[in-house]
Amino acid sequence: MAQKTQQAKEKTPHAQPEPFPIPEKCIQIDGSILEGGGQILRNAAALAAITGQTIHVDKIRAGRSKPGLRPQHLTGLRLITELSGGALHGGAQNSCAVTLQPRALQCRHAVGDTATAGSCALLAQAALPCLLYAAPDASREPPGASTLELRGGTDAAMAPSISYLQHVLLPTLRRLFGLTLDLQLHRRGFFPKGGGRAELTVHSLEQGTPLQAINLTDRGDITSITVSVFQAGLMKPDVAQRMASAAEATLQTRWQHPVELHRSISLESKERAVGNGAGILLTAVTSAGRILGASVSQERGRQPEEIGQQAAEELVEDLQTVACVDRWMQDQLIIFMALAQGTSRMSCGELSLHTRTAMCIAEKLTTAKFRVRKPKGDVQHWIIECEGAVVTAQTAMAR
């Protein structure tokens, strides 16, 4: 009888939180528009914390099979609430509406723990822009640095891997904006338990200094491609080799241009990983210093050859557009373009729904204005232009 009662409790959905008053002066956001998922929450919460605006988001993930906040979304909202010293109403699992009232961002050490295999990389995406606009803390050394400990899944499906952040996103942000950023991977964690751990260090912008506009319209030639694979736990010993070989064979067939091809294989120890998993990251470097990547994690029931081939095909498809960014990068740069000073331009492949969503949220919460154009006679790529809102750490703190 006790067992049946316990099973019934596990099947009972979490109760919705008690209704809460919506502040009169707040920006209301429909959480079901466009991408209709977690990206709306991540971008809206980050921009709200940076600009000091209260937001109310309803219809959260309304079109999903399990609507409302999942653990990873809730963790991200709570993390941004902590970073901004604010208040979060409606912050409960399965809640379909939340209100975030931020106060002031300040440099600190914080922990984001999904307690599941939820993506560490997506937590970092949400928090990183906030930390750039945090006020220095004289008790820290250095005062303008923040550290964020990320716990959960490092190689989750339907999300960039932690390796993508390390080797593609962060180097791109450092090069484009001159930012001081670092990410250390201490332990990988996989579905279903998670258990991964990484540490992100972010140095905030100087007070009164905005991000500068970027011009990502010249890609240059592809000079090298690196195939990086890893495996951990109770996997067949040849999984990583098979994955790498399949990726290389696909690249040689699909990308018939002279290029240096490198291979890197990591066999993670028990101390460096929780559970069983494998994954692949392909990075292409251009003569103009651009980095484009493709990342795929091992999924149950799929052969290593399928994973390697998929990653290579994704990278080649992005390279063939002559765009300066890959499909994962285009939406991640939108928030930085919106906050910057001047007119930014980015050449990309066909706009993803995530990118359109990011632009929509940025225009709702800042004065940034986006426009998209297609170069005449070119069917392979688009140009996104943005007149930035010129947000500085100083204006962000002027509540």
Q: Which residues are annotated as a binding site for ATP?
A: 125
Using CA atoms, how far apart are residues 348 and 358, in angstroms rounded to an integer? Answer: 15
| Residue pair 230/279 in contact by the 8 Å Cβ criterion | yes
Q: Annotated binding site, which residues? A: 125
For tokens 């609507």, name the residue: 67
What does the H/E/C string look like for 268-328? Answer: ECHHHEECCEEEEEEEEEECCCCEEEEEEECCCCCCHHHHHHHHHHHHHHHHCCCCCCCCC
The active-site residue, picked from 73, 167, 203, 354, is 354
SS3 44: helix
Q: Nearest Cα to 194, choosing from 156, 235, 234, 149?
A: 156
Using CA atoms, how far apart are residues 232 and 234, in angstroms rounded to an integer? Answer: 7
Question: Tokens in use for 398?
Answer: 């002027």
Using CA atoms, how far apart are residues 113 and 240, in angstroms rounded to an integer? Answer: 28
| Residue pair 107/134 in contact by the 8 Å Cβ criterion | yes
262 is catalytic: no
Question: Tokens in use for 91?
Answer: 């912050």
Active site residues: 354
